Amino acid sequence: MIYNILTIFPQFFDSPFSTGVLKKAQERGLIEIRVHDIRQFTSDKHRTVDDKPYGGGSGMVMKPEPLGDAIKATKLKEAKSLVMLTTPQGERFSDKIAKELSGFEQLVIICGRYEGVDERIRELYVDKEISIGDYVLSGGEYAASIIIDAVSRFIPGVLGNEASPYDDSFSEGLLEYPQYTRPEIYEGKYVPEILLSGNHKEIENWRKKESIKRTYSRRPDLLDRANLKVEDLEFIKETKKMNPPSFRVYIALVHYPVYNKDLKIITTAFTNLDVHDIGRAARTYGVRGFFLVHPVEEQRELVQRVLWHWIEGPGASYNPTRVEALSIVHIKSSLEETIEEIGQREGVKPKTVVTDARFRGNMVGYPELRKNIRKGEEPYLILFGTGWGIAEDVIESADYVLKPIEGPTDYNHLSVRGAAAIILDRLLWS
């Protein structure tokens, strides 16, 4: 593999590749790192590589001519090549991309600087734009050195032991299992016995399980993309059973006070489908209680009968999983009563969150609320409105108003059970 690095700071690369694995890989001819100074491709007396942006604005833009000339002069025609630009606007770098890139014979890496490069360079020459994370570095040189390190590890022979890059974190889409070395006891802590057993099959099994457990607790988002067998999925199920979520979330379906189409305050009737579907979503996502809030006694009695049918009556033997979902459903006559009940259970009043399909000022986004909820420090009650949405008074007295759910179209008229399922997924999973 030949790396052609195009930079305005060639001296940056004096040290990153002069030690360890990458130094050895160069000595053994497995990789070759060629650093080119973009200034050598300028034609003016001042060796200018940047200029002011057309249209005004702060910062400088990398000029197209020196960059274009540098690419043309350094890119080897005969090699299977890819021209890359390091930029925070690029595709997020990952182990998977590193592996793909290791299949090329040559990577031309343009280290972006200033406010970016002239757009025509991207259009004419760049095959792939890569970001190493959602933060801005003072130059693409840092990104280039990280990319070169990660890519080189996948080049056969670079790590000496061919299998090793595939044992590391992410190789199967999982985080790596815990590692130990001598001594057997350190500050009272023992190395797991299985690792001393010499039973390689058992050790392999243990490691796989530890990888799964670690990935589940730290990066559950990775599990979706991981390469897992049926027995691994069974183990994940077990792990989930043994480690119920620590967040303390309750939800309520509010039938009063809500708006009708003409924005008058009304009371809506129970909808059987909502009770079942939101109950099933709530149970799936680890919600501690699903409260049905209705001020009309006859309606509460009616839904109580429906619940009885599924929890204790004939429905229970017909569909045992429904028993589990509907057992977390509770019927209350008002929001105040609901909040009080949660306060008693949790020892502290819950933070209330309202969901609404309309945009307004001061709304909380999903990542922020999710982070707070998942700390598990306080209980939360998420309110879902029926009809045309929850009344303004309730919205104003809530601790948080959650941003409306948005899809890739301008249509925004979800059913409450559809919205509830999406919101639970965004807030409580991966």
Supply the minimum distance, in Å, between the C-beta of residue 280 and ligand ADE: 41
Q: How far apart are CA 360 and CA 278, in angstroms?
A: 26
CB of 225 to ligand ADE, least distance (A): 21
Q: Where are the alpha helices (DSSP H) in 113-271?
A: 119-125, 140-152, 164-167, 200-218, 220-223, 230-242
Query: Catalytic residue at 295?
Result: no
Q: Does 6 bind ligand ADE (CB under 6 A)?
A: no
Give 3-state DSSP helix, strand, coil % of the chain, rounded to 5.
40, 20, 40
Residue 139 exposed, middle or buried by CB count within 10 Å (0-12, 13-18, 19+): middle
- Per the CB < 8 A criterion, the answer to whether 212 and 176 are in contact is no
Of 238, 91, 99, the closest CA to residue 168 belongs to: 99
Q: Which residue has the tokens 């379906």?
A: 253
Shortest Å distance, C-beta 342 to ligand ADE:
42
167 is catalytic: no
Query: If binding means CB under 6 A, how many residues of this protein chain bind ligand ADE?
Result: 12
Q: Which stretch binds ligand ADE (CB under 6 A): 33-41, 84-92, 305-313, 337-345?
A: 84-92
Tallying the residues shown for the chain, one arrives at 430
Question: Which of the residues 373 through 392 are near ligand ADE (CB under 6 A)?
Answer: none
Beta strands 379-385 and 351-355 are parallel
User: How many angstroms separate the CA atoms of 399 and 367, rounded?
Assistant: 16
Shortest Å, Cβ 361 to ligand ADE = 31
- Residue from 86, 152, 211, 338 touching ligand ADE (CB under 6 A): that is 86
203: region left, alpha or beta (phi > 0 left; psi from -120 to 50 alpha): alpha
Q: Which helix (H) or strand (E) holds 274?
A: helix 272-284
Respond yes or no: is residue 168 known to be catalytic.
Answer: yes
CB nearest ligand ADE: which residue? 143
Q: Is 87 in the site for ligand ADE (CB under 6 A)?
A: yes
Q: Does 25 bind ligand ADE (CB under 6 A)?
A: no
Q: Which of 6, 82, 132, 293 binds ligand ADE (CB under 6 A)?
A: 132
Does 98 participate in binding ligand ADE (rule CB under 6 A)?
no
Of the CA atoms within 13 Å of residue 211, those in its CB half-sphere come to: 24
Cα 167 to Cα 174: distance, rounded to the nearest angstrom: 10
The reply on whether position 54 binds ligand ADE by CB under 6 A is no
- Cβ-contact 375, 238 below 8 angstroms: no
Q: Is 83 in the site for ligand ADE (CB under 6 A)?
A: no
* Binding status of residue 150 toward ligand ADE by CB under 6 A: no
Token pair in block for residue 394: 């309730």
Residue pair 100/47 in contact (Cβ under 8 Å)? The answer is no
Structure tokens at 216: 């589940």
Does residue 143 interact with ligand ADE by CB under 6 A? yes
3-state secondary structure of 54: coil
Q: Is position 12 an interface residue for ligand ADE (rule: CB under 6 A)?
A: no
Catalytic residue among 113, 122, 153, 288: 153
Q: Would residue 153 show up in a list of annotated catalytic residues for this protein?
A: yes
Residue in 95, 100, 115, 337 annotated catalytic: 115
Q: Is 94 left (phi over 0), alpha (psi -120 to 50) or beta?
A: beta
Does 145 engage in binding with ligand ADE (CB under 6 A)? no
- Among the listed residues 74, 57, 40, the one whose alpha carbon sits nearest the alpha carbon of residue 49: 40
Q: Any contact of residue 137 with ligand ADE (CB under 6 A)?
A: yes
> What is the identity of the amino acid at 319?
N
CB of 53 to ligand ADE, least distance (A): 17
Residue 185 is a binding residue for ligand ADE (CB under 6 A): no
Site membership for ligand ADE, residue 82 (CB under 6 A): no
Interface with ligand ADE includes 16 (CB under 6 A)?
no
Which listed residue (66, 112, 289, 350) binds ligand ADE by CB under 6 A? Answer: 112
Q: Does 7 bind ligand ADE (CB under 6 A)?
A: no
- The token duo for 131 is 């970001």
By CB under 6 A, tell whether 53 contacts ligand ADE: no
Establish if 116 lies at the interface with ligand ADE (CB under 6 A): no
Pick 88 or 245: Cβ nearer ligand ADE: 88
Which parts of this chain interact with ligand ADE (CB under 6 A)?
86-88, 112, 131-133, 135-137, 140, 143
Active site residues: 88, 115, 153, 168
